[in-house]
Structures are given as structure tokens and as C-alpha cells.
């Protein structure tokens, strides 16, 4: 499986504090069947330049890789980019895509989005330089109208949900419906640590297999790798 959303890089943000915690998270992910993990530390354009962020990310990655065992999941570098009005005009936006791909993980605001924002997302999704993925959409679903989600999906925007969405009693049935209907295509742990925000691919995967079957998981995985392979 691919973990599309994680905070495993040490000392980058509110995720892993140090290399030891990062190694523990990677071990948990491997044991839960994850073979590729996308490291997506937070990026806030109003706080830091792209150049500074990439420098910090490289240093953090190198500290981690110096101690990563051979059987650990493959790490791909990316970012969880916070949306702001006008982001489509950001010249260096493509440098924040997942390495080797055009996939950009975008975090939206916890509010009802304006028509301008929705239009900007659709325009950004229509460019050749970016494959837009909306991070942890379960957080925003109830705040937007159904027509917003339909517009985004129709324009090729992909939707990522956290594995926690499948483990909580109040949301797991909805999570399965969204996955089965194609409204959601990508899964991420959004793991920050081993205690309060650990990866939950084992529990989520067990429910998905029970409700939708092993073949569904395989197809989901194949689709994910095809998204990464598109250039």
C-alpha cells in the first residue's frame, strides 16, 4: 500500500520529533503493509520560502535515511501545502509536488470555501503541471455543498482520506460508501507520532477488505501507483 499523507520526517513540523520516532513510525507502517510512504511535512507560504522549506526537508530526510533499515518502506518526499487565495500563481508550486510526479497534496481551510477558491482549484487542476490531491477531505465534507465535490471530481481532482476515518464508529460506514462510490481514491495515515496519532492502515485495511474485498484493495493500490507514474 501507499501512505499518501504522513509526518514522518524528524523535526520538520508537529509530526515526528526525532529520528528514533521516525524509525518507530516506519516500522509500524511496514508491519501494517505499507510499502511506499509519502513524507508530507506542512508547508505554509506565509511562513517560509520554498527554498528554505526544501533545504530543511533535505536535511531532515538525510538524517533519517542514515539510520533507515533496508526493509523499511520507500520514502517519497512531498509536502502538505496549505491553500491560500492566489496559490495558482505561485511560481515554485511544482517544486512541492511529490518527487518524481506532478502530484500536489493540498490542505484546505476548515470553513465554507468561497466561489473564488473553488474556481481556483478547478483552474489549478486543469493545468498540465499539477495533479491536485485534496488532503483529508473528511474534515471538510460537511462544510461544502455536494455540487462543490462534484465539480472537483469532474475536473480530475483526487481525494485523500485518513485511515482514522475508517476506524471510528461514527464515520466508518460513510468512509466505506465514499470509497466504494469512487468519491475517495487515496488513503493516508496522516501519522504524527506513535501514541496519539499513529498510522492505522491495519485497522482500516481490515474493514475495507471485509466490506469491499481483497480485490478492491489491490485495485486501489494499483491506481495509486499509476497516479505516481504519470508525468
Per-residue pLDDT tens digits for 101-158? 999 999 999 999 999 999 999 999 988 789 999 999 999 989 999 999 999 999 999 9
Task: Tally Cβ neighbours within 10 Å of residue 24.
Answer: 15
Residue 231: predicted pLDDT: 63
Helix, strand, coil distribution of the chain in percent, nearest 5: 45, 15, 40
Residue 128 is predicted with a pLDDT of 72
Q: How many CB atoms lie within 10 A of CB 167?
A: 16
User: Would the pLDDT of 224 be above 90?
Assistant: yes
Task: Tell me the per-residue pLDDT of 63-107, one tens digit each, with 9 for 90 and over.
Answer: 999 999 999 999 999 999 999 999 999 989 999 999 999 999 999
Confidence of residue 230 (pLDDT cuts 50, 70, 90): confident
Q: What is the pTM of this model?
A: 0.96
Are 188 and 227 a contacting pair, CB within 8 Å? no
CB atoms within 10 A of CB 122: 17
Mean pLDDT of the chain: 95
Task: Identify which of 74, 28, 18, 80 has the alpha carbon closest to the alpha carbon of residue 200.
Answer: 28
**Among the listed residues 185, 206, 161, 226, the one whose alpha carbon sits nearest the alpha carbon of residue 32:** 206
**Span 9-45, pLDDT tens digits:** 999 999 999 999 999 999 999 999 999 999 999 999 9
Amino acid at each position: 500500500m501507499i501512505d499518501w499523507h504522513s509526518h514522518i520526517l524528524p523535526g520538520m513540523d508537529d509530526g515526528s520529533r526525532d529520528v528514533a520516532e521516525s524509525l518507530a513510525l516506519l516500522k509500524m507502517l511496514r508491519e501494517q503493509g505499507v510499502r511506499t510512504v509519502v513524507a508530507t511535512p506542512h508547508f505554509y507560504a506565509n511562513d517560509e520560502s520554498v527554498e528554505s522549506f526544501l533545504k530543511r526537508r533535505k536535511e531532515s530526510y538525510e538524517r533519517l535515511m542514515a539510520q533507515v533499515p533496508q526493509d523499511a518502506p520507500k520514502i517519497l518526499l512531498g509536502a502538505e501545502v496549505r491553500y491560500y487565495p492566489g496559490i495558482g500563481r505561485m511560481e515554485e508550486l511544482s517544486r512541492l509536488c511529490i518527487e518524481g510526479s506532478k502530484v500536489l497534496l493540498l490542505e484546505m481551510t476548515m470553513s465554507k470555501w468561497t466561489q473564488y477558491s473553488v474556481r481556483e482549484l478547478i483552474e489549478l487542476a486543469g493545468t498540465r503541471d499539477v495533479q491536485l490531491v485534496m488532503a483529508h477531505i473528511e474534515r471538510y465534507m460537511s462544510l461544502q455543498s455536494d455540487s462543490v465535490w462534484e465539480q472537483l471530481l469532474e475536473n480530475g481532482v483526487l481525494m485523500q482520506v485518513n485511515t482514522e476515518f475508517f476506524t471510528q464508529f461514527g464515520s466508518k460506514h460513510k468512509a466505506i460508501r465514499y470509497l466504494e462510490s469512487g468519491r475517495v481514491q487515496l488513503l493516508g495515515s496522516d501519522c504524527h507520532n506513535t501514541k496519539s496519532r499513529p498510522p492505522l492502515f491495519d485497522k482500516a485495511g481490515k474493514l475495507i477488505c471485509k466490506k469491499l474485498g481483497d480485490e478492491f484493495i489491490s485495485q486501489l493500490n494499483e491506481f495509486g501507483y499509476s497516479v505516481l507514474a504519470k508525468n
